[in-house]
Amino acid sequence: MYKHILVPIAPGNGRDSDTALKVAERLLAEGGSITALHVIEELPPYVQDHFPPGQLAATSLRMEEKLEEAVAGREDTQVAVVTGHAALTILDFAKNKGCDCIVIASHAPAMQDFLLGSTAARVVRHAECSVHVVR
């Protein structure tokens, strides 16, 4: 059983985040906690200039609200929204927050995943803690 489980969630991408949260609940030790995390990809400054001021803050707030809906009614679960490269940020968050397990939803690999790699694959390869992949 794990004391702090990280569940990366990307609302609206077709991954089954509810199943990942259920798996995390089953793996959670008594008194443990779950963090549902959403990573907003950073945009280069030359792209950010084309968005209205405050767009990142508004997007972060909207994602936080979606995460709150996804974890509604689940005890010992908090949410976090951060910016950065998805896989690297998930790995850094897990390490910095002392997570001992990551439960991440994935999909059946398509051709582009073999060429570019998926976020879940990168997390599995580089995590310093246990990783459970849910399909």
For domain 2-134, give the CATH number.
3.40.50.620
Average pLDDT value for residue range 45-71: 89
Better-scored residue on pLDDT, 124 or 108: 124
The model's pTM: 0.89
- pLDDT at 47 (0 to 100): 84
Most confident region among 46-55, 62-71, 86-95 by mean pLDDT: 86-95
* CB 35, CB 133: distance < 8 Å: no
Lowest mean pLDDT among 56-60, 115-119, 128-132: 115-119
Better-scored residue on pLDDT, 66 or 115: 66
CB atoms within 10 A of CB 93: 19
List the chain domain ranges: 2-134
Tokens 């998930």 identify what position?
90
Residue 97 DSSP class? T
Who's near 63: CB < 8 A, 6+ residues apart?
11, 38, 40, 81
